[in-house]
Amino acid sequence: MLLAYRILCTLSLVTNEIVILFYVVPVDGVGTKVNEEGIAFYNNLINALIEKGIQPFITLYHWDLPLHLQETIGGWLDKQIVNYFAIYADTCFAHFGDRVKNWITINEPLQTAVNGYDTGIFAPGRREGSSEEPYLAAHHQILAHATAGSIYRSKYKDKQGGQIGLVLDCEWAEANSDKIEDKSAASRRLDFQLGWYLCPLYYGDYPAVMLERLGDRLPKFSEEEKKLLLNSLDFLGLNHYTSRFISHATSCSEESYFYKAQEMERIVEWEGGEKIGEKAASEWLYIVPWGLRKVLNYIARKYNNPPIYITENGMDDEEDNSLPLSEILDDKLRVHYFKGYLAAVAQAIKDGADVRGYFAWSLLDNFEWAQGYTKRFGLVYVDYKNSLTRHPKSSAYWFSRFLKGGEKKNGKEN
């Protein structure tokens, strides 16, 4: 049942514990027989982490849907998948929950729904389906999360003492002007990112703006399902990298049912000509620390100030074999990124946001989905051509000093 894992490094702003977040992945998704080799692999991994004083956070689903479920029932488009996910989650709770106290059901369901069943750039690559497909996939992911949460609370929480959450990704949406049209567009953008998932889980149904704009394209929750959804989060995981200026637009340049329904444009240059921030390697990633503070405060205001873990935050460099290793390792821009974003987190905490921890994406350079090995997010450089040798970057050394309380020279923190 369980084969692969990915690892992030993290620090906890509250406890200063060392924490590792990793993903468990189901193989075929069906049947009653558990893959004992997979269980043994994860038992060994969890035990090794704990022996080193590392606290594991486990993500059950990170876009790795068993192929069999896609081929036989259509993946997230069929409601049966909620039951399959429940069996899988129950299996993980039963085998690992005596040591694992932090569970994440699904990572970035928006990406699965939109990029899997709308734009088609992620698996299963559907771009010719109906305009209802992304909302149906999201609907079933929401129910899968809530069902897994109900299982954990009813069977395991009292004995194991853990907590369960959901990870959402969100860019901050900053209105491009003081015009009411742009402010409304920015508000819609946030509802289509966060509200899509958090409104059902905190208020029992989709955001009003989505109900109004999408109509019958949005599936309906039954009254029983609404009761299941409410209070199914112990914490919220937030993946945040960047922000955008948002303008109202009746026509959208992005070929997507999801984006067109929002009637907005995401732009990186303010109407006065100022860029939103310095660009990283990926075309979508600009360095905007103040956006993280704003999105944390927005969540605190709108969703009853839930406990938040920032489960991904970081920036990438372009793969460039022409540079000497010493220059590659001296990643000053990444150090600048983390200083700015961690300062924004500290400001949000002072504002009252209940932030419990912070994960940096990522510990190692790794395979970045559609971008493959062309982008490097790691604190540690991985030499793909020489036996995967690891070399800490300047950002890794900076984090080490930061976790120890910071080093100062001439009265200034480095």
Alpha helices in 255-324 (DSSP H): 257-262, 289-302
Q: Dihedral sign, CA of 243, 176, 116, 208?
A: positive
Alpha helices in 303-386 (DSSP H): 325-329, 332-351
What's the N-to-C CA distance of the chain in angstroms? 46
Cα separation, 222 vs 220, in Å, equals 6
Which of 51, 108, 269, 413 is labelled catalytic? 108
108 is catalytic: yes
Helices (H) and strands (E) in the chain, counts: 15, 19
Buried b (16+ CB within 10 A) or exposed e, 164-180: bbbbbbbbbbbbbeeee
266 DSSP β-pair partners: 246
Q: How many residues does the chain have?
A: 414
Cα separation, 299 vs 353, in Å, equals 8
Which of 224, 255, 312, 368 is labelled catalytic? 312
What residues act catalytically?
Answer: 108, 312
